[in-house]
Homo-oligomer: A and B are copies of this chain.
Amino acid sequence: MSHNTFGHLFRFTSWGESHGPSIGCVIDGCPPGLKLDETYIQQFLDKRRPGTSKYVTQRQEADQVKILSGVFGGKTTGTPISLRIENTDQRSRDYGDIKDVYRPGHADFTYDAKYGFRDYRGGGRSSARETAMRVAAGAVARKVLGDGVVIRGALTQIGSKMIDGENWDWDEVVKNPFFCPDKSMANEWAEYLDGIRKDGNSVGAIVEVQAEGVPAGWGAPVYGKLDTEIAAALMSINAAKGVEIGSGFATASFSGTDNADEIRMQDGKPLFLTNNAGGILGGISNGDTIVARMAIKPTSSILTPRKTITRGGKETEIRTKGRHDPCVGIRAVPVAEAMLACVLADQKLRHRGQVG
């Protein structure tokens, strides 16, 4: 069962609500002997942390991670790694206005339909705050993968404004608050998002993640395919509405001659002349860069009044005040990287288990 657990041999279970005392996760199946400390994990959390620029939520959370178990003498022991982050900014407020009203686009109605009630304090379990623990787990997953596998992500589209792939420069990603690999688009986005933010509106985005250095042979047909698990991993992220691998939806309009990546030899190894496959064939890595993309819908919390209903079934309107991300896609980049890392770490161990 996978309700709050992700992965198989390398797996983590997350817990916690946005307005509870803390959130955390338990990572199980991690190989022993890996160097691990809080500072290392923290650097990844800091990329996702709220309040880092005016383009993300102004909630103030230090997101300081503590390791509670599974590390001894600076190294992983092979037993469960428990991580915890205190919720420090549980701003005391009056929930009277939203307590009994379902916010459109949020999980308020569905949690109530499922469980018979809901945690109305900021979304409870459905809050994107949970993704902090994915980032923490992903940091550990990177250790499992080792330095040979490089995972990184970028934002390729905000609203209708798409980067120019020709301008892609990984060095740019860290230089702007959008994880944008296209320098000129970063400036355009800044202006564009300022407008969105001032309007109290929000906008969607597309995130791309890549993994270089994955050897050929990871993945497992037919329901444990690498792309299957990447799709699940990314779609499980809050606000995700679509996932694609390699050329993805574009392949629908390709012909067979356009699509299948031809192969040559280079330095004694297969070289794929194109990468429409996104590094995966038949659910198994082919040694080329793994490429996945996901669509993130716009934040549903906006200032414009929206038609909705109350718990009691009365029609009403709601206007969501509060400290929200004008483009939640930005902070989804480190989360997507982390989920890709977790899938790959798990598949690495499973491959090693079955094939040796």
B256 touching A109 by the CB < 8 A rule?
Answer: no
A228 touching B223 by the CB < 8 A rule?
Answer: no
CA distance A110 to B280 in the complex (A): 8
Partner pick for A353 among B5, B223, B352, CB 8 A cutoff: B352
Tell me if A47 counts as interface (CB < 8 A to partner B). Answer: no
Apart from A3-B223, A251-B298, what are 11 other A-B pairs with CB-CB below 8 Å?
A1-B11, A15-B79, A33-B116, A104-B260, A109-B281, A157-B253, A227-B240, A236-B283, A244-B249, A257-B306, A265-B315
B251 touching A241 by the CB < 8 A rule?
Answer: yes
Q: Which of A49-57, A90-98, A122-130, A164-172 contacts B (4 or more CB under 8 A)?
A: A122-130
CA distance A225 to B3 in the complex (A): 7
Partner pick for A253 among B204, B217, B251, B262, CB 8 A cutoff: B204
Inter-chain contacts of A232 with B (CB < 8 A): 223, 228-229, 231-232, 235
Partner pick for A282 among B8, B15, B104, B107, CB 8 A cutoff: B107
A219 touching B350 by the CB < 8 A rule?
Answer: no
CA distance A304 to B259 in the complex (A): 12
Closest to A200 in B: B256
A78 touching B354 by the CB < 8 A rule?
Answer: yes
Inter-chain contacts of A308 with B (CB < 8 A): 262-263
CA distance A102 to B299 in the complex (A): 45
CA distance A216 to B109 in the complex (A): 9
CB-CB contacts below 8 Å: A83-128 with B: 102-107, 109-111, 113-119, 124-126
In the assembled complex, how far is the CB of residue A8 from the closest CB belonging to chain B, in whole angstroms?
Answer: 5
Tell me if A210 counts as interface (CB < 8 A to partner B). Answer: no
Tell me if A264 counts as interface (CB < 8 A to partner B). Answer: yes
Closest to A339 in B: B223
Among A130, A235, A286: residue with most chain B CB under 10 A: A235
Inter-chain contacts of A72 with B (CB < 8 A): 17, 117, 119, 124
Decide yes or no: A159 and B223 within 8 Å by CB, A247-B241, A260-B104 being known contacts: no
Partner pick for A79 among B216, B217, B221, CB 8 A cutoff: B221
A309 touching B227 by the CB < 8 A rule?
Answer: no
CB-CB contacts below 8 Å: A3-20 with B: 3-6, 8-9, 11, 13-17, 20
Tell me if A80 counts as interface (CB < 8 A to partner B). Answer: yes
A235 touching B228 by the CB < 8 A rule?
Answer: yes
Tell me if A82 counts as interface (CB < 8 A to partner B). Answer: yes
Q: Which of A23-31, A35-43, A179-187 contacts B (4 or more CB under 8 A)?
A: A23-31
Inter-chain contacts of A26 with B (CB < 8 A): 4, 13, 15, 26
A3 touching B220 by the CB < 8 A rule?
Answer: yes
Inter-chain contacts of A70 with B (CB < 8 A): 15
Tell me if A258 counts as interface (CB < 8 A to partner B). Answer: yes
In the assembled complex, how far is the CB of residue A322 from the closest CB belonging to chain B, in whole angstroms?
Answer: 13
B13 touching A13 by the CB < 8 A rule?
Answer: yes
| Among all A-B residue pairs, the 9 with the closest Cβ atoms | A107-B282, A353-B353, A105-B260, A242-B244, A202-B256, A110-B284, A113-B216, A231-B235, A15-B80
CA distance A253 to B157 in the complex (A): 8
Tell me if A138 counts as interface (CB < 8 A to partner B). Answer: no
